[in-house]
Structure 1
Amino acid sequence: MIEGIMRILPAFSEIETADADRFEQVSLRDSAGKLAESLRDPLAQYLGGSTVLMSAGNVADPLDEAKGPVVPFGFSTDGEWAWPTYWAYFVREYGTSVPSDFLMHAQSRGFTPVELDDDEARSAADRIQQLLEK
């Protein structure tokens, strides 16, 4: 069982959600293009391949709405960090930077996605919920 403090990547202010005020917000436009090209694929694979706790379909890309609803919307985790699932898309498509401590965390795991078992996923979801209720 994975235990300890859960950290959450911020949400993007350009993507509207009913509970946006519960998350730290950053600007997608300001973060795009700041990640080294060599990190895009491995980091996107880590973000997109780790455990999905909730999936709610797709939303429009706020940087190119002509693409239609191509951005996955949900919530993922590796048991220590959690993030809106769309992070993988924006890292791959736009080279969106992540906080340096998260990047070091993913690098320390060799960018190998984490698949939690059912008990670990439930525990992670409970810890995320507790954080969001504060």
Structure 2
Amino acid sequence: MSQPATPLTEQEQNRLVKQIGRAMLPALPPGWQRIRAEYRAAGRHIEVDLAFAGPDGQWRPVRPPMDVVRLFGQLRAAMHEPVRGTWLSAVYEIEAPAAFSVDFNADDEPRWRNPPPVIGFQDELRAFPRQDDRIPPWLRQRVGLPPLTPPRQHGELRTAHVYDGLDEAGRPVVNRQVLDPHLVDALLDYLEAAPVVLTARDLDVDAFVPGDRDVPLNFRTDGTWIWAGAVPHYLRKHGLPPEPDLVAHVVARGFRLGEVDEATRERAAALITGA
């Protein structure tokens, strides 16, 4: 699978695009008038279609040379950007003798011949990470990520996700950066010292080790965020980082809890229970 590479300059990208065009030519018979290549990828899942049209205007498919597949993969990796990731499909058209155009799509779901499995989309975000708000809704759904939370209004409480979703087998999906080890102890102190607004006597099953029933069934709030007892529990037991925005919030506070008034605690409990 292609990995993010050093970004290419515009001149280098144009050179690679022209290489792809030249790599198509050995697969085509004399007299072609137009060429159309479509490349679609998600993680290790790759689909490439190549077709040409002659003087009669009829499109005829041909087997794409491996150099075409390889060079498309190189271009996709080299065009990765940390904010928006990289493109998922590209359409490359050539009209004789030398006119060409390339259209890249980073947001819409490609028209797959065979849709990739869930792991293909998970691999895509691992290999070509992108900013959370640049992951389109269809891709969030495919990998088991929760819908993007709309911007929080002033004074509105925000609930932390324990993990990022579930795969087809119901196992937790995690797509988070590793936490700085120097933050762990202070973060645990903060998360486990905030006021409890809802609790139960029982313990829940560990989603990562179903044989263990040791997850606290409680919820806490610091007046801005609400989180389940599973959040610090999984951090302590499995090293699972809390939601990045929650970590950033706690760090920005200097790991210092403020007072949480009774009205805010009641509002937090109402949000949890849906009252």
Asked if TM exceeds 0.5, the reply is: yes
Give me the whole-angstrom Cα distance separating, in 2, the residues matched to 1:109 and 1:11: 21
Partner residue, 1:20: none
> Which residue number corresponds to residue 91 of structure 1?
235
Match in the other structure for 2:156: 5
Report if the CA contact (8 A) 1:51-1:115 is conserved. no
Shift of 1:118: 3.0
Q: CA deviation at 1:50?
A: 0.4
- Which aligned runs of 4 or more in structure 1 are off by greater than 4 angstroms? none
Residues 110 and 99 (structure 1), Cα distance of their counterparts in 2 relative to 1, 3 Å cut = same
Asked if 1 retains the 8 angstrom alpha-carbon contact of 2:161 and 2:227, the reply is yes
Higher RCO, Cα 8 Å, sep 6+: 1
Q: Secondary structure at the match of 1:55?
A: strand
Match of 1:45 among 189, 214, 233: 189
CA RMSD of aligned residues (A): 2.9
Within 1, Cα distance between the matches of 2:231 and 2:257? 14
Match of 1:69 in 2: 213
Where does the alignment leave 5 or more consecutive residues of structure 1 unmatched? 15-26
Return the TM-score normalized by structure 1.
0.68
For the Cα contact (< 8 Å) 2:198–2:218, is it kept in 1?
A: yes
Question: Following TM superposition, by how much is the alpha carbon of 1:112 offset from its aligned partner in structure 2, in angstroms?
Answer: 2.7
SS in 2 for 1:103: helix
Determine the C-alpha separation between the residues in 2 that align with 1:58 and 1:32. 26
Q: Distance in 1 between matches of 2:230 and 2:186?
A: 15
CA contact (8 A) 2:161 2:243 kept: no
Pairwise CA distance, 1:69: 2.1
Instruction: Write the distance in 1 (CA, Å) between the matches of 2:258 and 2:213.
Output: 26
Q: Distance in 1 between matches of 2:259 and 2:213?
A: 26
SS in 2 for 1:101: helix
Letter in 2 for 1:87: V
Residue 55 of structure 1: how far off its partner (Å): 1.0
Alignment partner, residue 58 of structure 1: 203
- The one-letter code matched in structure 2 to 1:74 is N
Q: CA 1:61–1:115 in structure 2 vs 1: closer, same or farther (change >3 Å)?
A: farther
TM-score normalised over the length of structure 2 = 0.36
Please list the CA deviations of residues 6-65 of structure 1 after superposition, one character each: whole Å capped at 9, or x if unmatched. Answer: 111014457xxxxxxxxxxxx755258822222222112211110111111311223234
Greater mean alpha carbon deviation, residues 104-113 or residues 57-66: 57-66
What letter matches 1:63 in structure 2?
Answer: F
Amino acid at match of 2:194: S
Which consecutive residues of structure 2, in runs of 5 or more, have no partner in the other structure? 1-153
- Structure with bigger gyration radius: 2
CA distance in 2 between counterparts of 1:99 and 1:42 reads 16
Partner of 1:30: 174
CA offset digits 1:71-114 (Å, max 9, x no partner): 11121111111111210111122221223321121012222345
- Alpha-carbon distance in 1 for matches of 2:193, 2:268: 16
- Per the alignment, residue 224 of structure 2 pairs with 80
The percentage of aligned residue pairs carrying the same residue is 26
The structure richer in helix per residue is 1
